[in-house]
Amino acid sequence: MKFRMLAVMLAAVLLLTVLASQALTSTGPERRTITVFAAASLTDAFTEIAAAFEDAHPDAAVTLHFAGSSTLAAQLIEGAPADVFASANERQMEAVIQAGRISSPAVAFAHNRLVLAVPVNNPAHIESLRDLAAPGVLLVLAAPGVPVREYTEQLLDRLAVRPGYGSAYRAAVMANLVSEEPNVRQVVARLALGEADAGIVYRSDVTADVADQIVALPIPDSLNPTATYPIAVTADSRQPALAQAFVDFVLGAEGQAVLSRWAFISAEADGGR
């Protein structure tokens, strides 16, 4: 009988402990969450920025959604819930603004440049942009509408009027196109797997985890478009103050330092702020 009473008392103490713990948890600060739609090329930098932001705001959580900017813009225009949009170009941001999903001014927070990327074994022996027109080269690019593809088209437009290249060069390059990917990271993946001879990506996409699989060949500055990345809070954000705090964090010294570490050109360095 004494053993049974002792067991009942211990069970009661355990129950009271659990209930007290639950009570303390329920009265603690509610964790606020924001959803950030960000261009695929921002995957590494924004993952690090979000972690740093959460460290600085213990009651906040950041949910990241990465895809091609054109895909993200289409989702936002269709009403997908989000608090922040970070695009890899201004055209997709403008489309979202025109749809009424962005009311505050969009701000440029970073810039990027293109590189010619080839597998480390370089089976097509590509050394420069000129080699992209050689017969039989397997070229992979992002799909039309994706910002990196639009910047690539600008590059090809510049080459089409340059002596020694011309419209025939552009036609030959496009004849070598074997795949169009939904975002720039998919282009990188195809190259890393050795499924293509060359691709055009952002310099920030040749990260440490693919550095032993892909070589980035520089593109002359006189030809290389500058990619501009704008960011803004959505008009219907459920956490507008927290969303703006995240934007401010990206624009601040810590966020800009992270972007620089991931090979972006910071907005401060390029006079974008």
Same structural domain for residues 87 and 130?
no
Q: Which domain holds residue 133?
A: 112-218
Say what percent of the chain tops pLDDT 90. 84
* CATH number for the domain that contains residue 47: 3.40.190.10
Same structural domain for residues 116 and 59?
no
pLDDT tens, residue by residue, 175-188? 999 999 999 999 99
Same structural domain for residues 67 and 201?
no
Residue with more model confidence, 151 or 1: 151
- Residue 77 belongs to a domain: yes
Mean pLDDT of 243-257: 97
Residue with more model confidence, 166 or 8: 166
What's the burial of 101, exposed, middle or buried (CB within 10 Å: 0-12/13-18/19+)? buried
Select from 178, 199, 218 the last residue of a domain.
Answer: 218
**Confidence bin at 272 (pLDDT 50/70/90):** very low
pLDDT tens, residue by residue, 62-105? 999 999 999 999 999 999 999 999 999 999 999 999 999 998 89
Determine the pLDDT at residue 56: 97
pLDDT exceeds cutoff 80 at 9? no
pLDDT tens, residue by residue, 109-134? 999 999 999 999 999 999 999 999 99
pLDDT exceeds cutoff 70 at 169? yes
Determine the pLDDT at residue 224: 97
Same structural domain for residues 68 and 143?
no
- Residue 79 belongs to a domain: yes
pLDDT tens, residue by residue, 39-58? 999 999 999 999 999 999 99
Same structural domain for residues 123 and 107?
no
Q: How far apart are the first and last CA of the chain?
A: 77
- Residue 41 belongs to a domain: yes
Would you say 273 and 108 are in contact if contact means Cβ atoms under 8 Å apart?
Answer: yes
pLDDT tens, residue by residue, 13-22? 344 444 444 4
Same structural domain for residues 58 and 44?
yes
- Residue 57 belongs to a domain: yes
Residues facing 181 on adjacent strands = 142
The structure tokens 């074994």 sit at 121
Determine the pLDDT at residue 269: 61
Mean pLDDT of 21-31: 53
Same structural domain for residues 97 and 124?
no
Determine the pLDDT at residue 10: 42
Domain count, the chain: 2
Same structural domain for residues 199 and 252?
no
- Residue 12 belongs to a domain: no
Same structural domain for residues 106 and 119?
no
Same structural domain for residues 95 and 179?
no
pLDDT exceeds cutoff 60 at 215? yes
- Residue 271 belongs to a domain: no
- Residue 187 belongs to a domain: yes
Same structural domain for residues 56 and 189?
no
- Residue 11 belongs to a domain: no
**Confidence bin at 270 (pLDDT 50/70/90):** low
Same structural domain for residues 41 and 65?
yes
